[in-house]
Structure 1
């Protein structure tokens, strides 16, 4: 080899060819071409209806907002990055009437009537539970409910105290701010709460709901931001953060209790099997809910999947299939889902209208108290405080299932979805019982 050839080889070894920059897997020019096609259809009113138009527009917008959030200083390190930009960016497109009404209607129908949110959460619940270490799932579940109670007690107490100090009133702060924030979202929280409060307070349910919704929306926004901040704070603090692992495992049991389930090679047929399992478990939860109306179908689904996992009733092949489907859905459609959350479930006008000093102080106090209470009790129960604060605290303080996805995405801990759903569903049902008790106590 000549000296000139040696220099060329050394340069190639020292400076390997950089990998081409891509957006959701596409080279930038091709992604821009696809974006131009979709945007042209949106502007001209030619966007197909149903899931074709929904997927095309929401995946493109999600990819763009994620790129913005990922590369914007401060936002990408402290405020949740792409997740928060997806939600509030898409919500702003609706609020400022930038998106045509037909496009908004297509996305809204896809999210709600088309069931995309349920489809996504079904995949996450089934795949994440069946992909967990069985012993770790059993140990963590037993200790999780006390962490939820710790966050609720801290949030209610802090709202009463600060509400009194700033002249808002202890009762009003607890009933109209803390309860809806910690109450399991809109459909399973604020709406039934307004029914519970209306008759004893001699108010119309719509009037009660108008008071609660801004707290719910702002609490959701603060929870998403707090999730990003907790993720940043937990970096490099192994005593506080499990980096997505909820339970602290002793050294002598660490290998046995934290070792992930053995994964089979990625297979298209396995993913299809996983899709059927996810939708079947979701269907079972809804079917069972007809006979147990006091329990949310998500909670029934979680319990069923957890029982199958705990007792080992499914062969490993099927557990792996569900997990592969979950990883695909989480990896490629999260951005689209977050855009849908912004379009269909985040009313920027309500959040802006609620921006009074007293209201903001109380909402922030409730969310911080939920973080501290759940983190403290979670540590006593053997959990990492960061993970306990995110799941048992922020996933109680957010807007139900949509908030769970947003919070866990901002915290980069989507694998904790089963515990987030326990907070939103079982914890939300507990808050309705608590509300019934409190309203009678205060009258």
Structure 2
């Protein structure tokens, strides 16, 4: 045995590969231990033994998400030009579901866990609460009043450019705006495309289902392009440090100073969990009074008010931050896999990919990104962060899309601003569409 090991080490390359394999950690686990867990869970999934509840869904999503995320970050072409692990995780897991490689019962269980059990709400509530309460109060005051005008103005420029491209490609000014640009910026399916189709159906007398089928590809393709563009913009920011805030929307007095590292505490994280659920519940209660606006938007507003007014004691702010960091560290890859399995159908996406359609959507994405970056710089934001949050996140399919965009650009701490752009921007789109359908329809 010793002779075999010596011969392997003498060969050089194989020995190096063995050492590299030993260094690989997935979710903090050694490769052999991770493979053991993966084999057990995937075997149970393929044989129908896996529990059809949140345990089974989360187990599959964590195994697939962590492995696919690692692969995407290791493959040079994907890592450098196609959004890295986040994008690969979404598309690879979607392929497994779309083409029947994952059993149908597993796919349905994951869909139920994402959409009905509320895993997405659980994740986003933690991130919004922790990100806002962990923010510098002066930064929040300055950024909040500047952010939404930048986002709305960028959306307006993108909508107008979409109309121009509609004329150039022969699709038509009004049709391009109504059926491509506005669905892309409406805030996803439940809070965007579905109510938007209802507005159009009521104004035109057309079938709502037929209208939805026209809008879904625009929303899906727009989100995919936003993810890829966010990754490329983040890479550009690395090359040009002057435009890059490294996850900070605008400069603060604390730049360059080390923040005090808090000791992790399980009870503290439990308090953070309860606080996140409380704020999400408040947002849900208010949305019952104003159902046209998503609960996330009201949740953000309430948390921002509490932070700016100094209502929440420091102890509970730190609890919310600790909990959000735990959730983000351990569940992001699983959520990305869940997005691919439950919310992205590659067959639907592929059917929409005509050259004309792709050209229009690319122009919309580039316009909103460039305008948000330029306008953001004008008001004191870092262009990279402004472009990603105030620009690209207006084209996200709701909270899932925002997570994918921010994960691809490694800026998950900006989730509150991303949600502002998506939710409040989506509400503006619905209001505007009520008038535009009568003029352009």
Query: 2: CA distance between counterparts of 1:277 and 1:262?
Result: 22
Name stretches of at least 5 consecutive residues in structure 2 with no aligned partner.
Answer: 1-18
The CA deviation at 1:263 is 4.8
- Equivalent residue, structure 2, for 1:339: 337
Query: 1: CA distance between counterparts of 2:23 and 2:228?
Result: 32
Query: 1: CA distance between counterparts of 2:24 and 2:130?
Result: 30
- Equivalent residue, structure 2, for 1:14: none
- Equivalent residue, structure 1, for 2:4: none
Determine which structure has the larger helix proportion and give its number: 2
Query: 2: CA distance between counterparts of 1:415 and 1:384?
Result: 15
- Which of the numbers 192, 196, 199 marks the counterpart of 1:193? 196
Alignment size in residue pairs: 422
The CA deviation at 1:70 is 0.9
After superposition, residues 271-310 of structure 1 pair within 5 angstroms as 271-310=269-308
The CA RMSD measured in Å over matched residues stands at 1.5
- Equivalent residue, structure 1, for 2:11: none
1:143-179, CA deviations, whole angstroms, 9 ceiling, x for partnerless residues?
0011112221121111111110111111111110000
Structure 1 residues 316 and 262, CA gap change in structure 2 (3 angstroms): farther
Greater CA deviation, 44-53 or 409-418? Answer: 44-53
After superposition, residues 359-398 of structure 1 pair within 5 angstroms as 359-398=357-396
Asked if 1:104 is matched to 2:115, the reply is no
- Equivalent residue, structure 2, for 1:324: 322
After superposition, residues 2-401 of structure 1 pair within 5 angstroms as 20-249=23-252, 254-255=253-254, 262-401=260-399
Structure 1 residues 258 and 417, CA gap change in structure 2 (3 angstroms): farther
Do the aligned residues in 2 keep the contact of 1:133 with 1:260 (CA within 8 Å)?
no
Query: 2: CA distance between counterparts of 1:149 and 1:379?
Result: 15
Query: 2: CA distance between counterparts of 1:294 and 1:96?
Result: 36
Do the aligned residues in 1 keep the contact of 2:244 with 2:382 (CA within 8 Å)?
yes
- Runs in 1 of length 4+ with deviation above 4 angstroms? 257-263
Do the aligned residues in 2 keep the contact of 1:155 with 1:369 (CA within 8 Å)?
yes
Query: 2: CA distance between counterparts of 1:376 and 1:336?
Result: 34
Query: 2: CA distance between counterparts of 1:127 and 1:309?
Result: 11
The CA deviation at 1:21 is 2.4
Name stretches of at least 5 consecutive residues in structure 1 with no aligned partner.
Answer: 1-16
Do the aligned residues in 1 keep the contact of 2:110 with 2:341 (CA within 8 Å)?
yes
Structure 2 SS opposite 1:295: coil
Do the aligned residues in 2 keep the contact of 1:263 with 1:320 (CA within 8 Å)?
no
1:375-397, CA deviations, whole angstroms, 9 ceiling, x for partnerless residues?
12111121111111100111101
TM-score (norm 1): 0.93
Do the aligned residues in 1 keep the contact of 2:175 with 2:440 (CA within 8 Å)?
no
Asked if 1:410 is matched to 2:413, the reply is no
Do the aligned residues in 2 keep the contact of 1:136 with 1:258 (CA within 8 Å)?
no
The CA deviation at 1:346 is 1.0
Query: 1: CA distance between counterparts of 2:389 and 2:319?
Result: 26
TM-score (norm 2): 0.93
Structure 1 residues 439 and 259, CA gap change in structure 2 (3 angstroms): farther
Query: 2: CA distance between counterparts of 1:291 and 1:261?
Result: 40
The CA deviation at 1:258 is 7.9
